[in-house]
């Protein structure tokens, strides 16, 4: 607030919200700009959704011949993404409900309802996002993964897209990947000095395996890309296998998993090991076959970097064993 001594205003807000107020000082122009931005975004979204609901009594088909960029659905989706980036969201959740479409933003780890739209918009919005992510809009029974790159604020922003069929239709979650991959460095990840030294010693070895573990959203992929930024040199060959490729990095050969074509993590990894790599990055170890090949590669003078979904680092040993990896390989 511009005037933190305005106790009457704080009392009014506290009485309305039922919450305690902690005043923070800001310039009047900043307060006004923030209020206008939120009000304008919500007003535009409401106007678009109401206009579409009034004019369209069925879900909008993105494949129509009309100009997609000018359609209400396209403007609605574009505004959702733009506002999420401005609000520094990590994820956008677009969820069909029985009576409409709900949009939620994850900010600082907490989901907030941002917008509710008429049910008539549901299929059009989902289809529009699937087209942008180069997904099959005709496939509604199976989950799909894709990627969108948008231009915002003078820079490219990547979004990782995942769809999931539910009883009310397909939900879409878009993860905003806003950090430029080429600028990532391990020293910028806020490690403690002790842990930074331990981790740098691990990935600076010429061969071996480095597993980055943790729960969803803990920064596993970010840490791996920062590590690639540190180890990338003109005199070494780095190859990655990912699903999907989250950041495109110059000078690194990145392979996208394609299960439909038979290119699984394990199949891609076998081919990669015949391509004379020095460093191999595996986006995630998901099964015993991939884990076994990765460990064996690390024992044959390759540096292997990968992630494993666990709650903490010690659980990685248990997780690999539960996958069916031979104990002697885990201990190696």
3-class SS letters over the chain: CCCCCCHHHHHHHHHHHCCCCCCCCCCHHHHHHHHHHHHHHHHHHHHHHHHHHHHCCCCCCCCCCCCHHHCHHHHHHHHHHHHHHHCCCCEEEEEEECCEEEEEEEECCEEEEEEEECHHHHHHHHHHHHHHCCCCCCCCCCCEEEEEEEEECCEEEEEEEEEEEECCEEEEEEEEECCCHHHCCHHHCCCCHHHHHHHHHHHCCCCEEEEEEECCCCCHHHHHHHHHHHHCCCCCCEEEEECCCCCCCCCCEEEECEHHHCECHHHHHHHHCCCCCCEEEECCCCCHHHHHHHHHHHCCCCEEEEEEECCCCCHHHHHHHHHCCCHHHHHC
Looking at the chain, the domain(s) classified CATH 3.40.50.300 span 186-331
Q: What is the pLDDT of residue 46?
A: 58
Q: Are 277 and 231 in contact (CB under 8 A)?
A: no
Which neighbouring-strand residues pair with 112? Answer: 105
Q: What is the pLDDT of residue 39?
A: 57
Looking at the chain, the domain(s) classified CATH 3.30.450.90 span 25-55+68-177
Long-range contacts (CB closer than 8 Å, 24 or more residues apart) made by 65-68 = 68/128, 68/131
Per-residue pLDDT of the chain (332 residues; tens, 9 = 90+): 788 888 888 888 888 888 888 888 888 877 776 666 555 555 555 555 555 454 443 333 333 444 555 578 888 899 899 889 988 888 999 999 999 999 999 988 889 998 888 888 899 999 999 999 999 999 999 999 888 989 888 888 889 899 999 999 999 999 998 655 557 789 988 899 999 999 999 999 989 999 999 887 788 888 999 999 999 999 999 999 988 787 788 889 999 888 878 898 889 999 999 999 999 999 889 888 999 999 999 998 899 999 998 888 888 888 888 888 888 888 87
Into which CATH architecture does domain 186-331 fall?
3-Layer(aba) Sandwich (3.40)
Into which CATH architecture does domain 25-55+68-177 fall?
2-Layer Sandwich (3.30)
CB atoms within 10 A of CB 309: 16
Q: What is the pLDDT of residue 97?
A: 93
């Amino acid at each position: 607030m511009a005037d933190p001594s305005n106790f009457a205003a704080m009392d009014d807000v506290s009485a309305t919200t039922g919450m305690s107020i902690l005043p923070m000082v800001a310039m009047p122009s900043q307060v006004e700009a923030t209020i206008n931005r939120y009000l304008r975004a919500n007003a535009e979204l409401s106007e678009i959704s109401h206009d579409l609901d009034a004019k369209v009594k069925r879900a909008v088909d993105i494949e129509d011949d009309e100009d997609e960029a000018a359609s209400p659905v396209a403007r609605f989706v574009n505004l959702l993404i733009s506002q999420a980036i401005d609000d520094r969201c990590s994820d956008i959740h677009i969820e069909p409900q029985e009576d409409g479409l709900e949009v939620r933003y994850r900010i600082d780890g907490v989901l907030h309802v941002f917008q509710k739209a008429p049910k008539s918009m549901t299929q059009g919005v989902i289809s529009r996002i699937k087209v942008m992510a180069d997904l099959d809009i005709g496939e509604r029974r199976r989950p799909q993964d894709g990627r969108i790159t948008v231009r915002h604020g003078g820079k490219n922003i990547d979004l990782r897209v995942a769809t999931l069929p539910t009883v009310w239709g397909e939900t879409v979650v878009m993860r905003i990947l806003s950090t430029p991959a080429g600028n990532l460095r391990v020293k910028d990840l806020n490690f403690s000095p002790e842990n930074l030294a331990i981790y740098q010693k691990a990935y600076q070895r010429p061969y071996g395996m480095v597993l980055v573990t943790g729960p969803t959203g803990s920064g596993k992929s970010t840490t791996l890309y920062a590590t690639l930024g540190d180890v990338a040199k003109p005199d070494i060959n780095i190859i990655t296998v990912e699903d999907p490729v989250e950041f495109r990095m110059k000078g690194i050969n990145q392979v996208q998993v394609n299960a439909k074509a038979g290119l699984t993590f394990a199949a891609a990894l076998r081919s990669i090991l015949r391509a004379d790599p020095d460093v191999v990055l595996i986006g995630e170890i998901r099964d015993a076959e991939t884990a076994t090949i990765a460990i064996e590669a690390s024992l044959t003078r390759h540096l292997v970097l990968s992630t494993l979904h666990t709650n903490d680092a010690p659980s990685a040993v248990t997780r690999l064993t539960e996958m069916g990896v031979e104990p002697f390989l885990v201990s190696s």
